[in-house]
A and B are shown apart, each in its own frame.
Chain A
Amino acid sequence: MFLNNNPQLNKNGELHHLLSIEGLPADILRQILDTAESFVGVTQREVKKVPLLRGQAIFNLFFEPSTRTRTTFEIAAKRLSADVINLAINVSSQSKGESVLDTVANLSAMQADMFIVRHAQSGAPYLIARHVSPDIHVINAGDGRHAHPTQGLLDVFTVRRYKKDFTQLRVAIVGDVLHSRVARSQIHALTTLGVPELRVIGPKTLLPSHVEDLGVHVYHDMAKGLKDVDVVMMLRLQNERMQGAFLPSPQEFFKSYGLTAEKLALAKPDAIVLHPGPMNRGVEIDSSVADGKQSVILPQVTFGIAIRMAVMSILAGN
């Protein structure tokens, strides 16, 4: 019965926490993208740092390990001159008693200004956001299968850099949508920004049962799904899902859903290819495509820092 106000927005309708892209007005997404544009300029300077968040304490609260994501948030926070405290919370010590909320209460007492939360359970950042004091901001850095909003934002930022007008695009998201928080965030970001045709491509075992309700068209065949698309967004396939009940083998997945130059040729000639990393070459994507001229995978990483700087500075100012 929590159908009350969107917990991400304050009473002025401004972003207070970033928990999911779902439910955010297009205006707020554009504000984040525009602000990130300015930070791209900053990151290309000799001194890559601005004093905006000087004196603020930002806690990286990773209940699930991820060096990569944690590092990009850390770099972003440091470039805003914030103090960054990294906490890797061991899952086993969690089960020994201290609950998520105890951890958060302890950290709040240390005068935290912002929490960057990664958790294996969908919705965990909502629980934290509901219980922190009102001047603390929470950023979801990935929760279960639910959302990874900064990744979704950096993906649409990348698309906008190369493709300009969202309302003219045909976009395909390929692979394990069922378990992917990245896919859900990409879908919400792209539909909110007005992409008229969004496709998901994958085997039935890796697509959620009601995925059409998210506003996408479902394809099981790469040849049909990639036809004439402007953007191809590949998803990462977790090792533990490559063999077992979801898929018979990584080779067979690659045969049907791996992105090769041959399959990419079905998309528009100027189509771009994204991947949130880290890539499984030869499983989701062929090296010739990953390193090819249509790949924008490396720029994605650079833009990721600017996006996270933008989100942190907008939240801190609201």
Chain B
Amino acid sequence: MTEQGLPSAETLLATLTAQMRAQVTPQTGLIGIVTGGAWLAERLHKALGIAVPVGTLDVSFYRDDFRDRGLKRKVAPSTIPFEVDGRDLILIDDVLNTGRTIRAAMNELFDYGRPASIRLAALVDRGGRELPIAAQFIGATLDIPSAQSIDLEQADGGGLRLVLQPVK
């Protein structure tokens, strides 16, 4: 537990790794959603011994709130360094909430090809879904007040931790 009463991100990552181990092959494509999901994907890729390189998605160009919020300052390029067609994929995100980011990510993925399947892994599921989306792998289910956001942070050494902060 952290000082904010949150579980340790590293512990949750270990839980997630354990859940996923039996469900992947060296050919499964892991795709992290920037930025938190991409850090997790890197760690899971190493821990699960996946052969194909890890992919990252920045879903900025697919968001449905673009009209209200505009484009964020720094959009990272999406890189999918493997063939998507016919492959089993796992999307990885840090916090699962409304499901809109996952919707955007799936739309973007289909612009790269037609995967055999897509599953979803999230470190934290905080509920509040607005779309019919569910994760197959979950580190923890937490009840977070809507006035607060929960974010994943990466320390200089690469260690991960969860932080609560008021919604801006």
Contacts and interface: CB of A to CB of B under 8 A. Distances in A.
Contacts, number: 53
B117 interface: no
A50 B71 contact: no
Nearest to B69: A317
A35 B111 contact: no
Contacts of A317: 66-67, 69-71
Nearest to A14: B70
A57 to B, nearest CB: 14
Interface string A14-55: 000000000000000001001101101110011101111000
B61 interface: yes
Interface string A305-318: 00000000110111
Interface residues of B, number: 22
Contact of B112 (A31, A37, A45, A51): A45
B74 A31 contact: yes
Interface of B: 58, 60-62, 66-67, 69-71, 73-79, 107-108, 110-113
Interface of A: 31, 34-35, 37-38, 40-42, 45-47, 49-52, 313-314, 316-318
9 contacts: A34-B74, A38-B60, A38-B76, A38-B78, A45-B111, A47-B110, A47-B112, A51-B62, A317-B69
Contacts of A35: 71, 75
Given A50-B111, A51-B107, A41 B79 contact: yes
Contact of B111 (A34, A38, A49, A318): A49
Contacts of A41: 77-79
Given A51-B62, A52-B62, A52-B66, A314 B71 contact: yes
Residue of B67, B71, B111 with most partner-chain A CB within 10 A = B71
Contacts of B70: 314, 316-318
* Main SS class of interface, A: helix
B114 to A, nearest CB: 11
Given A38-B58, A46-B112, A52-B66, A313 B71 contact: yes
Given A47-B112, A49-B111, A42 B71 contact: no
B38 to A, nearest CB: 14
Contacts of A52: 61-62, 66, 71
Nearest to A47: B111
A31 B58 CA distance: 16
Contacts of B75: 34-35, 38
Contacts of A314: 70-71
B61 A50 contact: yes
Residue of A38, A49, A316 with most partner-chain B CB within 10 A = A38
Contacts of B77: 37-38, 40-41
A37 B77 CA distance: 7
A317 B70 CA distance: 3
Contacts of B108: 50
Contacts of A37: 77
Contacts of B74: 31, 34
Nearest to B63: A52
A25 to B, nearest CB: 13
B157 to A, nearest CB: 27
- In the complex, the 5 A-B pairs of residues with the closest C-beta atoms, listed nearest first: A317-B70, A47-B111, A50-B61, A41-B77, A317-B71
B21 to A, nearest CB: 31
B124 to A, nearest CB: 27
A313 B58 CA distance: 15
Contacts of B60: 38
Contacts of A34: 74-75
Contacts of A31: 73-74
B68 to A, nearest CB: 9
Nearest to A50: B61
A310 to B, nearest CB: 9
Given A42-B78, A45-B111, A317-B69, 10 more contacts: A38-B58, A38-B76, A46-B112, A47-B111, A51-B107, A52-B61, A52-B62, A316-B66, A317-B71, A318-B70
Contacts of B71: 35, 52, 313-314, 316-317
B13 to A, nearest CB: 28
Contacts of A40: 77
